[in-house]
Amino acid sequence: MATTIEKPDLKSGAATGSAQRPFRPKDLLSQVVIQGLAVAPDGSSIVYARRTVEGNKYSRSLWRTTFKGGKPEQITTAKGNDTRPRFSPDGSQLLFISTARASPRPGSCRSEAAKHGS
């Protein structure tokens, strides 16, 4: 049995059954992996690290979405990797690990930025 993948409709995000084709090694380069989820203390949103391949290297940035649905918003855009998001107990800060400056270092932003994507 051959492995096949379905090519999603880019407008709706739904898989289109008629576009099945055999899996190819280069398909790994378009893979998106969700890692390191953090739930806001008030339960209003979730922040996660989204891993993609850019320039033949893994790149991780932080994204936010609500539990009610809606379009995910990118929070960080650093050259490097931003991982392990965590909210402070009072929800005022979003903490994470960043390799934007070569070695891993703590990073942070106001929780409002995480909630509103600004």
- In sequence order, what are the beta bridge partners of 41? none
Contact 61, 76 (CB under 8 A): yes
In eight-state DSSP terms, residue 115 is H
* Residue 102 is assigned to a structural domain of this protein: yes
Number of structural domains found in the chain: 1
**CB atoms < 10 A from the CB of 50, how many?**
18
- pLDDT for residue 67: 82
Range of the domain at 52: 32-116
- pLDDT for residue 73: 92
Per-residue pLDDT of the chain (118 residues; tens, 9 = 90+): 455 555 555 555 555 555 688 888 888 788 888 888 999 999 888 999 998 888 878 889 999 998 888 889 999 886 778 889 999 998 888 988 888 766 666 676 666 545 544 3
* Residue 27 is assigned to a structural domain of this protein: no
* Residue 77 is assigned to a structural domain of this protein: yes
* Residue 12 is assigned to a structural domain of this protein: no
pTM higher than 0.75: no
* Residue 24 is assigned to a structural domain of this protein: no
Contact 38, 24 (CB under 8 A): no
* Residue 40 is assigned to a structural domain of this protein: yes
